Amino acid sequence: MMRIEIIRRPQHSALFSALSPFIALLLTLLAGAVLFAILGKNPVAALYSYFVEPLTEIWSIHELLIKAAPLILIAVGLSVCFLSNNWNIGAEGQFIAGGVAGSILPVVFPDFQGWYVLPVMLVLGMAGGMAYAAIPALLKTRFNTNEILTSLMLVYVAQLFLDWLVRGPWRNPQGYNFPETIQFNSSAILPEIWTASGRAHWGFVLALLAALLVWFMLSRMLSGYEIKVLGRSARAGRFAGFSAGRLTFFAFLISGALAGLAGISEVSGAVGQLRPSISPGYGFTAIIVAFLGRLNPLGIIAAGLVLALTYLGGEAAQISLGISEKSARIFQGMVLFFILASDTLIYYRIRIVSRSVETAAKGA
């Protein structure tokens, strides 16, 4: 008889902390291959068209950056939340709130045009995301409400609010009753980085910038130290004189701002108008990005690109393999599943015990 035990390590393993994302990705690919085989596709060819083919063409790499930008922006903000033990699950809603708030100018005041329009839109987008994230922060600090539930539920409120806006007051009067706003004028469009080769817009650069700034704060500044101390031990944080309530606001506001910035960048850079749905679940996928990137903003850049690839692969697979693009969700889910499982190895080791030892002792 055999039995598998997990035993706590005396100290967490740095090796497995670094290795865990790669183990998770490997297991995801293996599980994906099994899945394709069950669907009757050749696993090797399927994985190739899912994960390699999108990287072989320039235009497709541009698409990758477009998808990675919001993932990185949101995940960087979430890393601040998660490190400080604030479980913001509502980035999707803050993304929409940012998209809506940033669109006020081009939708309601389309006559305003000029260089200043774009900066104002970005600032409004961040403000919208912040305001929306402040709600769960306020509820948590004031009424001790569970922020996981409140932030998640507010996602649906935001989605329905956007839906109502584009079908109601903000609908394009010349739009043949399609649920869309007017197309943004050119001064409200986030420009492309390198127009000649593809569509990627400056949102990706904003994402890199945000990642670098937050990385600097977390690793070099006292506020980053405060985040880590309070996240790991609230009591030690109180002993240090740090305020958990203030940090909850700080973390929610910063992640709301970045999610809002991601929202308006997506709307202004990739879509060009508001529609009933402006996100293929970026706010939720970014949770996976944050964990795959070890809650480290630099790791998140890499993880954001990996998860963006699943979106592209899903689209490619729909075309070349004839499987639903929703398969991307399956891959994202598997990444999260396997990374959480692999993370067990950081704190625990696995031991296989044979039963015979114990029975011998009982006989004595």
Query: Quick one: 14 or 196, whose CB is closer to other proteins?
Result: 14
Give whichever of 35 and 346 is closer to other proteins, judged by the CB atom.
346
Give the Cα separation of 314 and 318 in Å (integer): 6
The residue among 57 and 358 lying less far from other proteins, judged by its C-beta, is: 358
Q: Given the rule CB under 8 A, which residues bind other proteins?
A: 10-12, 220-223, 225, 228-229, 232-233, 235-236, 238-241, 357-358, 360-362, 364
Beta carbon of residue 79, minimum distance to other proteins (angstroms, whole number): 17
Find out whether 133 and 253 touch, Cβ atoms under 8 Å: yes
Give CA–CA dist 88/177, Å, rounded.
36
Q: How far is the CB of 78 from other proteins (least distance, A)?
A: 21
CB of 11 to other proteins, least distance (A): 6
CA distances, 18 to each of 22, 24, 165, 294, 299 (Å) = 8, 11, 45, 8, 10
Return the number of the residue (92 or 226) whose C-beta is nearest other proteins: 226
- What's the Rg (C-alpha) of the chain? 23
Those residues whose C-beta lies under 8 Å from the C-beta of residue 362, and which sit 6 or more positions away, are none
Q: Considering the complex, what minimum distance in angstroms separates the CB of residue 228 from other proteins?
A: 7
Contacts of 3 (CB under 8 A, 6+ apart): 352, 353, 354, 355
Closest C-alpha to 259, from 278, 274, 273, 244: 278
Q: Which residue, 1 or 222, has its beta carbon nearer to other proteins? A: 222
- Smallest gap from residue 6 Cβ to other proteins (A): 15
